[in-house]
Structure 1
Amino acid sequence: MNGPAPQVPDFEARVRASFAKQGLMRTLGASIARVSSGAVELVLPTSPAVSQQHGFTHAGAVASIADSAAGYAALTLMPPGAGVLTAEFKINLLAPALGERIVARGKVVKAGRTLTLAQTDVFAEREGHEKLVAVLMATLMTVEGRSGVDD
């Protein structure tokens, strides 16, 4: 990624520790697939527990992992001791989320001192092929003194 460098050398451990404290991600069954500077990929296995009445993965589950991927992408670039909170997001649902798993790839578009803009592309993986099913744009705020790991 061309952009700001991480301000914390062990940013991946920081992201993973914070993610481990997320009750919703645990409830949904989501996990971290990749962490790099300014980017995070989350994976959600599909199951009846996260489906809606037509058998697709529920938009709420899709939005949740998309928001978390954007937030954790932003966290990779935040200063020591700071945490991240979503201030706003907009999601476009492009197609039903139908597949064996849902993959959310969050990336920082522009990192700022107080606000960061991130985008998440969400794909449904089915029989080895990916289909773009949603795009989320998020504004995330830096929260000083609330790392989300030690508090």
Structure 2
Amino acid sequence: MEEVEQRVARSFEAQGLMQTLGAQLVLVGDGEVHIALPFSRRLSQQHGFIHAGAITSIVDNACGYAALTKAPQGCEIVSVEFKINFLRPALGDRFLAVGKVHNAGKSLTICTGEVRAFYGEGPSCKVVAVMQATMMTVQHPII
């Protein structure tokens, strides 16, 4: 599993968007990945909560990297399709995107994701978004 964690971490670190957002990879498990995002006014929309684009980006990545934990060596993952539902405004001090694999096929992997909003340091949170995602396993290098 350590090799898979390193593979995911290297890929995550190469993503300029995650660096721009200030997102951090916090957990890589077998078929599950967590990505944290601190609140930032730079990522807010006009009403003061985190923009849907930022929320979508971190949960898409969490699902994609969860799929990568199931992909064969030498392969990469790309998003094919996703559907996201926003349940409430993304208000909080920090956010956690959780991506989980539900079925890993030869070429398509089905994942679900959710984004949790946290206030303060406690464990209490509210789910602000849920995602259903289809990821495709492709040979590396991607052209």
Deviation for aligned residue 1:70: 0.1
Q: Which amino acid aligns with 2:106?
A: R
Which residue of structure 2 lines up, in the alignment, with residue 25 of structure 1?
A: 18
Which residue of structure 2 lines up, in the alignment, with residue 63 of structure 1?
A: 56
Deviation for aligned residue 1:30: 0.2
Give structure 1 regions of 4+ aligned residues with deviation exceeding 4 angstroms: none
Aligned-residue sequence identity (percent) comes to: 51
| Residue in structure 2 matching 1:145, options 133, 136, 140 | 140
Which residue of structure 2 lines up, in the alignment, with residue 10 of structure 1?
A: 3
Distance in 2 separating the partners of 1:41 and 1:145: 24
TM-score, length-scaled by structure 1: 0.90
TM-score, length-scaled by structure 2: 0.95
Aligned length: 141
Deviation for aligned residue 1:36: 0.4
Q: Which amino acid aligns with 2:140?
A: G
Which residue of structure 2 lines up, in the alignment, with residue 134 of structure 1?
A: 129
Distance in 1 separating the partners of 2:141 and 2:111: 20
Distance in 1 separating the partners of 2:135 and 2:7: 17
Question: In structure 2, the residue corresponding to 1:43 is in which secondary structure?
Answer: strand
Gapped runs of 5+ residues in structure 2? Answer: none
Gapped runs of 5+ residues in structure 1? Answer: 1-5
Q: Which amino acid aligns with 1:140?
A: M
Q: Which amino acid aligns with 1:84?
A: I
Deviation for aligned residue 1:135: 0.2
Which residue of structure 2 lines up, in the alignment, with residue 46 of structure 1?
A: 39
Question: In structure 2, the residue corresponding to 1:63 is in which secondary structure?
Answer: helix
Deviation for aligned residue 1:139: 0.3
| Equivalent runs, 1:88-107 vs 2, <5 Å | 88-107=81-100
Deviation for aligned residue 1:99: 0.6
Question: In structure 1, the residue corresponding to 2:65 is in which secondary structure?
Answer: helix
The answer on 1:113 being equivalent to 2:140 is no
